């Protein structure tokens, strides 16, 4: 019988993790090490900076681990046309998951039509590739009220996204259980939730899974799975 921790197997934990190397000062050696870890641990995806997509895709060829990248990162305020171009280039270079940052300024300014069009444009660019590529919309929940989070969920769903995601990991705060639960309540089983930002240990991952997250973005996948090996029974 395989070992479990709080009711989850090692594979279930690993397949929840989007292992990430996104810091602007991360070296190419660190990005390569991240790809090797993602391959060894068979995580859900390897989330990398746009500049690293081509080499990461080559490194992960036939590994079963898709390359994920970020669009409009980390502020979401690049133009829609820029986000579309980034998306198209990322797919050409091998990205098979897209995490885009919502235009937070437009949301806070009340221009909900712009926010939705911005997401629709990225989703459309992905669908035009005719590849099975999920789109995750990053809200930066630390900057939003509960009402704004609810509105963001509605807009992401209307725009055709596949996931709603809490955070970039570069704001003052990251994911919270309350925000994940709120997002899950808003979208039900129609979309999925990704928790991200400040997730560093195994118990956090399990807590977020129980709150409704299907994915957890983290730069600490190796440590989290090491904790599983130490704590599982």
Q: Which residues are catalytic?
A: 99, 165, 194
Residue 225 pLDDT: 98
Distance in angstroms (rounded) separating the CA atoms of residues 21 and 123: 24
CB 222 within 8 A of CB 41: yes
**Interval 16-65: pLDDT, tens:** 999 999 999 999 999 999 999 999 999 999 999 999 999 999 999 999 99
Query: Is this structure's pTM higher than 0.95?
Result: yes
- Which residue do the tokens 């990322």 mark? 90
CB 84 within 8 A of CB 93: no
């Amino acid at each position: 019988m395989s070992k479990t921790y709080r009711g989850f197997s090692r594979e279930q934990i690993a397949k929840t993790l989007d292992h990430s190397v996104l810091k602007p000062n991360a070296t190419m050696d660190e990005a390569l090490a991240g790809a090797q870890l993602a391959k060894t641990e068979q995580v859900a995806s390897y989330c990398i900076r746009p500049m690293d997509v081509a080499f990461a895709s080559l490194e992960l060829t036939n590994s079963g681990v898709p390359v994920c990248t970020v669009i409009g990162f980390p502020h979401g305020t690049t133009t829609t046309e820029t986000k579309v171009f980034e998306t198209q280039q990322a797919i050409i270079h091998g990205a098979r998951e897209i995490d885009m940052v919502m235009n937070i300024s437009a949301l806070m300014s009340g221009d909900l039509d712009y926010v939705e069009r911005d997401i629709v444009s990225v989703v459309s660019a992905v669908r035009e590739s005719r590849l099975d590529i999920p789109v995750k919309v990053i809200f930066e929940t630390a900057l939003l009220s509960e009402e704004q989070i609810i509105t963001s969920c509605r807009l992401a769903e209307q725009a055709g996204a596949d996931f709603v995601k809490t955070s970039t990991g570069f704001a003052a705060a990251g994911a919270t259980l309350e925000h994940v639960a709120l997002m899950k309540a808003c979208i039900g089983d129609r979309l999925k939730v990704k928790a991200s930002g400040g997730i560093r240990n195994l118990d956090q991952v399990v807590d977020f899974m129980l709150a409704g997250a299907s994915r957890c973005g983290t730069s600490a996948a190796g440590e989290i799975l090491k904790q599983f090996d130490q704590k599982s029974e």
